[in-house]
Structure 1
Amino acid sequence: MTAHRSTLRRTAAAAAAAAAALVLAACGASDNGSAGSDGGASQSPAASASASQGEHNAADVAFAQGMIPHHRQAIEMADLAPSRAQSAEVKKLAEEIKKAQDPEIKTLTSWLESWGEEVPAEGAMDHSAHGMDGMMTPEQMEELEKASGKAFDTAFLEMMIEHHEGAVAMAKTEQADGAYPPAKDMAEDIITSQSAEIAQMNKLLGKN
């Protein structure tokens, strides 16, 4: 009888230990989101990305894969300004756009690689990319390349406003549908910085 009770006690203890392990595992899984969010501020980008792996969804992938060619085109446009723009303010704005968006391309690329997702190929401006919010057509890019002086300034500002508006729309979609905290943070930064640049460009055009 004593041996029987001892066996029962051991069985109950084993069951309790297994249940506790399951609870701990569940807590760990549910805490990942907050850990990834908090870690983004204190850890290095690489450590944060590694710690937060798996916490992304299809919207995060679409955001990264869409924003890379979008940013690349903005940089391509900005690269034309030093030799073609007349306005010093346009040249300075183009430089700031490059400075902000080039590091973001690198970050977006590292996320896709860590997720095992395809990174858009360099220079692969396919038809689907041109259908994206705010993307310039090949004809518009050709028009910008041929312009100079004040005509370039006007074309650059008008096209970049449209381009930025597209990026802001994409970032708002990420904020609404995404799950990966660092991507949502980047989306917030894009909305803030590019909305401010849109206001600045409208002012340069005399629209406000």
Structure 2
Amino acid sequence: MHVKKRYSILAGLGIVAVFTLGACGTDEAGSGASGGTGSTTSSTPENADAGQKGDVTFAQMMIPHHQQAVEMADAALQKNASPKVTELAEQIKAAQGPEIETMTKWLQEWKAPMTSDQDHGGHGRGGMMAEGDMKNLSAAGGAAFDEMWLTMMIEHHEGAIDMAEDVLKTTNNSEVKEMAQAIVDGQNKEIATMKALL
């Protein structure tokens, strides 16, 4: 009888051990599930990266875009364009010069190259003027210059607005948002003024 009792106790302990091991297994599975849940949130950094890449591309492409606008503004100032065109040229230069400096600083802080793999240098791409367009503008004078300058600058501004609206859809950077919105608001107003002058 004593042996049978001892066997029963050991058997009972064995069952307890099995249940204990089973419980541990459940805990491990549970922690594995929570780890799986953690891995599903990995898209958040990817989305952040996408936003950051968009910010970099925006600055890389907007800097030369602004530089060409400043070049066109300088052409108007050198040509002694009409007072309204001269006023616009001064306004554009005053707004876009500091923005070029700010975006250049961003790229330096982000340790990003100054140029983008995306090329928008051709006429009709991002509103950028081709080299031939710039030469024709330089050769023009008087009322013909004013008309050509206004027509080209409207297209140029429309390209900048498109780029700014694109980055507003992806950026989480408050400084980028502020500048992009300023470009949209400011250049839309200038477009309305230029259209009225044509």
Q: Do they superpose with TM above 0.5?
A: yes
Question: 5 Å matches for 1:1-208?
Answer: 57-120=52-115, 128-131=119-122, 132-205=125-198
Q: 1:109 to 1:127 in 2, by over 3 A?
A: closer
**1:85, CA displacement in angstroms?**
4.3
**1:179, CA displacement in angstroms?**
2.2
**1:86, CA displacement in angstroms?**
3.4
- Answer whether contact 2:60 2:115 (CA < 8 A) is retained: yes
**Cα deviations by residue, 1:166-193 (Å, 9 ceiling, x for unpaired):** 0000000010012211001100000000
Task: Give the secondary-structure state (helix, strand or coil) at the position aligned to 2:169.
Answer: helix
- Answer whether contact 1:134 1:167 (CA < 8 A) is retained: yes
When normalised by structure 2's length, the TM-score is 0.71
Identity %: 47
Aligned length: 148
Between the aligned partners of 1:204 and 1:179, the Cα distance in structure 2 is 37
**1:112, CA displacement in angstroms?**
0.4
- Answer whether contact 1:85 1:150 (CA < 8 A) is retained: no
- Answer whether contact 2:51 2:170 (CA < 8 A) is retained: no
- Answer whether contact 1:85 1:153 (CA < 8 A) is retained: no
- Answer whether contact 1:84 1:147 (CA < 8 A) is retained: no
Between the aligned partners of 2:74 and 2:81, the Cα distance in structure 1 is 14
When normalised by structure 1's length, the TM-score is 0.67
Amino acid at match of 1:166: G
Between the aligned partners of 1:127 and 1:96, the Cα distance in structure 2 is 29
Between the aligned partners of 1:188 and 1:127, the Cα distance in structure 2 is 22
- Answer whether contact 1:63 1:171 (CA < 8 A) is retained: yes
Aligned alpha-carbon RMSD (Å) = 2.1
- Answer whether contact 2:50 2:170 (CA < 8 A) is retained: no
